[in-house]
Every structure is written in C-alpha cells, then in structure tokens.
Chains A and B, each alone.
Chain A
Amino acid sequence: MMRIEIVKRPQHSALFSALSPFIALFLTLIAGAILFSILGKNPISALDSYFVEPLTEVWSIHELLVKAAPLILIAVGLSVCFLSNNWNIGAEGQFIAGGIAGSILPVVFPDFQGWYVLPIMLLLGMAGGMAYATIPAYLKVRFNTNEILTSLMLVYVAQLFLDWLVRGPWRNPQGYNFPETVQFSDSAVLPAIWPDSGRAHWGFALAIIAAVLVWFMLSRTLNGFEIKVLGRSSRAGRFAGFSAGRLTFFAFLVSGALAGLAGIAEVSGAVGQLRTSISPGYGFTAIIVAFLGRLNPLGIIAAGLVLALSYLGGEAAQISLGISEKSARIFQGIILFFVLASDSLIYYRIRIVSRLSDTALKGA
C-alpha cells in the first residue's frame, strides 16, 4: 500500500518553473497521440496540423494575430485584477461595452470622418469598458458585494443591451431589417498592419504595447508593488499604508479599459460593423490566458498566441483530417489541462508515501 501526497513547497521551484512547459508539451503529445489513434487518425499528421500547419503560411500567421490580440489585451488587464485579489470575471461584458461605446461615432455619426475618428473611437472604447468595470468595483468597495457575481451578471446585461441596440435603434436602415449596423466607413476601420499579406490589424500592436506597459508598472513601480502586497495580504498592505479600496478601483479600471479597447479594436479591425454578438467568449477565454501566462504580462503574450494557435490548429485539423469540431475542442482542453497541471509542480511537490513511513508518522 502506498499513497500519493501533494506537499506545498516552502519556496517555488525555479527548476519546475522552467521545466513545466516542456513536461506539459510532452504529456500533451502523448495524450494527443492516444486520442487521435483512438479516432483512427494518424497522430503525427494530427499534431502537425495542430501545431505546425498554422505557422507555415503567412495568411495563417495573420489570423493567429487577429485571434490572439483580444485575448492578450483582456488577459493583461485581468492580471492586474487577479494579482491584487480582485476577481473580475466580467471582462466579456467590458469588452462588449467598449465595442458599443467605440462604435458611437461610426454608427450614429457616419458622416463624421477624418484621421481623428479612429483615436476618438479607441478612447471611447476604453472609456466604455472602464465605466462598465466601475460598477462591480463600486459595489465591492461600497457594499462589500462579491465582485465575481456582480461582474459576471453584468456580462448578460451587456450582451442583451448590445442585442437590443443592433436590432433596434442602431439597425442598418438599408439592411433588410437584419440585426446589423451599417458597415464602418474607411476612416473608422482599424487598418491592417501589412495589408498586402493578410488582415492582422493594429489591435495586435496595441496588445503588445499594453503588455509591456503593464509589465513595467507591475515590476518596476511602487504601484505594482502595492498591487502585489495587497493581493497577497491585505493586512500587510494596510500596515504599509496602502488602500485596498483605491486599489480595487484601479485594478477594475485598468482591466475594464483594456477589455474595452479589445472590444472596439475587434469590432473596428476584424468585423467592421456592430452585430448582435461580437465575441465568441474572448472575455472568458482570457481568464485562462491570464493564468496560462502565470499572471505575467509578457508570459500572457506567449499564452495568448498558444491559445490562438490551438483554435486555428483545431480548425485546420477539421479540414485536413476530417475530425469533428468536438474532438478538436477536446484536444484543446487536454493542452490546457496539462499546462495548468504541470504549473502546479512549481508550488507543490509530489511525495509518494509508503505504509511504513505512514505508521511511523502516526506513531509520532
């Protein structure tokens, strides 16, 4: 008889910090090979279409950036929230609020055109996301409500509000009564970075800039120190003279602004109009991205790209292997599971306890 115990390490392991992605990759390859063999597909060509094929074509790399941009932008903001112990689950709603606020100019004032339209839209998008994130922050600070519930429930409010807007007041009058706004004019479309080779837009550049700025703030400024101290122990933070309430607002505002920016960048750069649904759940997927990147903004860039790759790879595998969308999603789940599970080795070690030492322990 033996038992497996998980024991917390006194200090996090630098060795496993570096090793865990490789352990995860190895386990994913093995599990993937088993999964695809069961499905009757050649595991090597399956893994090839997942991880290699999307990176071998220029257009596909563009698509990777399109898919990764909103995930990175939102996850970077969420890292500030999660590090400071504020559980903002409503980034999806802030994303939508940003998309709506940013679309005011091109939808309501389509004749208003010029180089200044786009910067105003982006600012409005950030303001929209920020304003929407203020609600759960205020409720938490003022009434001590649970921000997980309030921010999550506000997602549905935002979705329904968008639905109402696009069906009703903002509907394209020439659109046969279909629920879509007008197409944005050229001056309201976030341009492609390299228009000759694909549609990756400046949203990705914004995501990188945001990640670097937030990384700098977290690692090099007093503000960042305050976030980490209050996040780990609010009591210790209070002794240091930091205000938890002020920080809650700060964290929600930053993550709301970035989610809002992601929203308007997606609407303006990738879709080109407002529709009843503008996100396939980016705000929720970004929570995974944030933890996959270990709440480090630079790590989040990599995590966002990896997750985007798994979406594209899943789609490529549907065509090249004829596997179903469900199997593609299962494999994506396997990847995430192993990555997050391997990361737990950084903080915990696995101990195999034999019965002998077990009784010895009891005796003592």
Chain B
Amino acid sequence: MKKLMMALTVAASFAVAGPVLAAEKLKVGFIYIGPPGDFGWTYQHDQGRKELEKELGDKVETTFLENVPEGADAERSIERLARAGNKLIFTTSFGYMDATIKVAQKFPDVKFEHATGYKTAENVSVYNSRFYEGRYVQGVIAAKMSKTGVAGYIGSFPIPEVVQGINSFILGAQTVNPNFKIKVIWANSWFDPAKEADAAKALIDQGVDIITQHTDSTAAMQVAAERKIKAFGQASDMIKFGPETQMTSIVDNWGPYYIERAKAVLDGTWKSHNVFEGMKEGLVVMAPYTNMPDDVKKLAEETQAKITSGELKPFTGPIKKQDGSEWLKAGETADDKTILSMNFYVAGVDDKLPK
C-alpha cells in the first residue's frame, strides 16, 4: 500500500509536467452539443473535423468536448480548450453564443467560430447555413409523394433556424399542391431519440404519410421505416437507417468551411466575418434522391439547380402569414435579417407557434 502510494505520487509528479508539443502545429478545438455518434448534427461537425485533419495532416491537431450543456458549463469548457493551447475554436450550437463571446474577450489571440448565432467580435466569427434551401426541395418532393397531403414535422426548439425550415418546406410543397398541410410536434430537445420516436409515432397516427425532422437522431427515420412510410433525413445521410424510407436528406457539409478557416489562421489571413451560406457555396448538400419515381426525382433536381444558381429564392412573394396577413408582395424577397429572426408561420402550417 505504502509502495503503491509512493509510486503513484512519483508518477503523478512526472505526468503534471506534460509532453512538449511541436510549435508550428495549429491546435483546433470543437465544442459539441451532443455525442458524435448521434448520426445527425454533431456527427456532421465531427465529420468536418475529420476532413480537416485529413486535408491538413500534421499541420493541425484537433480536440473536441462532447455533450457540453448550454449555460454556465459552456464557458468553462470553451475556456478549457483555449487554455489547452487551441488557437482556433469552433463552438457548434446556438446556445454557446454568449459564452463564446465572454471567453473570446479573455483570449484575444485565439480565434473563435460560433455556429448559427449572430454576435461577432474582433476574434469571433459566425457561420450559418441556409438549411432552409434544402427544406424547400423536400417540400416539393413531399407534396408529389404524399397521398394524404399532410406531412409531419418534428421540431427541436421554436427558434428562427427551425421556423425557417418549416416555412420553406410548406412553401415548396404548395408549389405542387396549394392545399398541402404540415403538422408540427416540438421535441424540446436537439437529441432525445425516445422523444423523437414518440413524436414520429404520434404524427403517423394523426395521418401524416411523410416525416421530416429538425432534431439530431435517427429515431424518426427508424420509426418511419417500421411503419412503411417515407421520410427525410436530417443533417447527415441517414440512408443506412431507412434504405427504403429516406427520399433524401439535407447534409450539413462543414468540412470545406473548417479547412478554409484553419488555412486562414495558418496563413495569418483570418478575419472575423458573419457568413450565411447554402447550396451555392456547398454548405448544404442533398443526399441522393432515392425511393421516388423518376419524374419526382427530376423535379427535385431541377428545383435544387435553380436554388443553387440563385434563380429561385424560397422566401419570394407573394407569401401570406399564417394569420392571413400579407408578408411579402409578389416578386419581393425576404432579406437575411428577416430570415434570421423569423418567428412566424406562413399559411398552411397546421400548428400554433409556441410563444
């Protein structure tokens, strides 16, 4: 016992000294809201991290912290990454916004990149994705494929990013079927497979025959597969979880962005910015169109091409709000600020937005 304690003490005092690192390696840190094994949101960020490692090889070294709660803990986790020598830190959930800003003030020589927020600083960039462009294509497909004319939508939290998706989906669907409806269930979580599965079951029992989701797990896809209806994946290609179910999926393709920003830090050209990118820039990628007839596939591809070229913008008038009032006049397009703070439904959504 005494010997063991002595051995432990000696060993511990050596371990504290720590290894010496090569000086020129750029350390890049990531904060994840869920586990990389969610096969959704965090999985895709982790894929981006791996692409970054593959592309830049021994010029970078990456670390991540998973399942970090939003709130007081986030600040500590981000600070820990900064203190561990990371010079570029990606915080990959909206709720890390204020914590990122606070830590950034303490570490002016570290560059921070916050996903999906709106606050920037000298050393804090914001990057966001126009996921809603993919939702529009999904809406078009859903209206073509649905027999009941009703799709089910599993939401996480009623924040603008999610509301954009719901509105864009129904606008896409209405180009095919003006009477198309969607029902919404809020899971009040980004990652809760049990709740997501329950929501999917409840929606199917209410007569929807297409499921789409804005939550991070594959549970809804699996329920849809069991009940033999069609569904859309979310954040990653979920075809493995529904080979005869998934029609397509919005794949968040973060890799190129992470590589670009890490390169910028290495070259010394990194500047704070606020980007909102979509299909055109390659941030939103559609998984292969499967489990649908060729004509629907063709229409989906055409819609995608139009959005990519900029010919089609999902939020273009005439659009009425849910309460019947006019939002956009014919030909008028919503600006980014309105899109980023969207907190109302357009006509056709069969749900009351939680206030």
Contact = CB atoms under 8 A, between A and B. Distances in A.
Given A176-B340, A280-B71, A325 B159 contact: no
A47 B80 contact: no
B158 A271 contact: no
Q: Which of B66, B72, B94, B342 has the most CB of A within 10 A?
A: B72
A177 interface: yes
Interface in A102-139: none
Contact of B159 (A56, A168, A179): A179
Interface string A317-358: 011101011100000000000000000000000000000000
A187 interface: no
Contacts of B69: 277, 280
B65 interface: yes
Interface in B78-124: 79-81, 83-84, 94-95, 98, 118
A53 B76 contact: no
Interface string B325-355: 0000000000000001111000000000011
A176 B341 contact: yes
A44 B159 contact: no
Interface stretch (B9-17, B146-154, B263-271): B9-17
A19 to B, nearest CB: 13
Given A52-B16, A163-B188, A272 B98 contact: yes
Interface residues of A, number: 47
Given A167-B355, A178-B159, A275 B95 contact: yes
Interface string A26-70: 100100000000000000110111001100110100010011000
Contacts of A276: 157
Interface residues of B, number: 39
B67 interface: yes
A275 B73 CA distance: 13
Nearest to B8: A44
Given A53-B16, A177-B160, A319-B80, A66 B72 contact: yes
Contact of B157 (A59, A179, A322): A179
Interface string B272-311: 0000000000000000000000000000000000000000
Contacts of B15: 44-45, 48-49, 52
Contacts of B158: 167, 179
A322 B98 CA distance: 26
B8 A29 contact: yes
B79 A59 contact: yes
Contacts of A56: 16
A26 B188 CA distance: 42
Interface in A172-201: 176-180, 183, 199
A49 B18 CA distance: 11
Contacts of B81: 319
A178 B160 contact: yes
Interface string B225-256: 00000000000000000000000000000000
A226 interface: no
A47 B65 CA distance: 19
Nearest to A169: B355
A289 B238 CA distance: 41
A33 to B, nearest CB: 10
The list of the 7 closest CB pairs from A to B, nearest first, reads: A270-B72, A177-B343, A176-B341, A44-B11, A48-B15, A280-B69, A45-B15
20 contacts: A57-B83, A167-B158, A167-B355, A168-B355, A177-B342, A177-B343, A179-B157, A180-B98, A270-B72, A271-B72, A277-B71, A280-B71, A312-B76, A315-B76, A315-B80, A318-B66, A319-B80, A319-B84, A325-B65, A325-B66
Interface of B: 1, 8, 11-12, 15-16, 35, 63, 65-67, 69-73, 75-77, 79-81, 83-84, 94-95, 98, 118, 157-160, 188, 340-343, 354-355
Interface of A: 26, 29, 44-45, 47-49, 52-53, 56-57, 59, 63, 66-67, 163-164, 167-168, 176-180, 183, 199, 266, 270-273, 275-280, 312, 315-316, 318-320, 322, 324-326
